[in-house]
Amino acid sequence: MQTNFPKLATLTFEEPDTDRFPALDLARRAGDTCGTMPAVFNAANEVAVDAFVNRKINFPQITATVRRVMDAHKVVEHPTLEKILEADAWARKEALG
């Protein structure tokens, strides 16, 4: 099913509620920081969501895990692909701990 934009007439956008959705701030932080941080954000999030799906952590712990891993990461500002992959692997291991 496709969205029929002409039939929608108008769309209304509001500022996101970062109190209700704190992971939005983490995503913005990853994007603003650049370097290896987006890879770390993504890897930690994937591990945390997997843990949630498998009932190992509760929903709020997803954001807490991602924040903890991001806070511990030492950003490489202009990474090579190798450094990005290293950051991804590090973040996955860190998120498990």
71 lies in which domain range?
22-96
On whether the CB atoms of residues 62 and 21 are closer than 8 A, the answer is no
Decide: helix, strand or coil at residue 18: coil
pLDDT in tens, 39-80: 999 999 999 999 999 999 999 999 999 999 999 999 999 999
* Residue 36 domain flag: yes
* Residue 83 domain flag: yes
* Residue 47 domain flag: yes
Decide: helix, strand or coil at residue 91: helix
Give the separation between CA 74 and CA 46, rounded to whole angstroms. 19
Residue 3 has a pLDDT of 85
Q: Which helix (H) or strand (E) holds 85?
A: helix 81-96
Q: How many domains does the chain have?
A: 1
CATH assignment at residue 88: 1.10.1740.10
**pTM score, two decimals?**
0.86
Of 8-22, 37-51, 55-69, 83-97, which range is least confident? 8-22
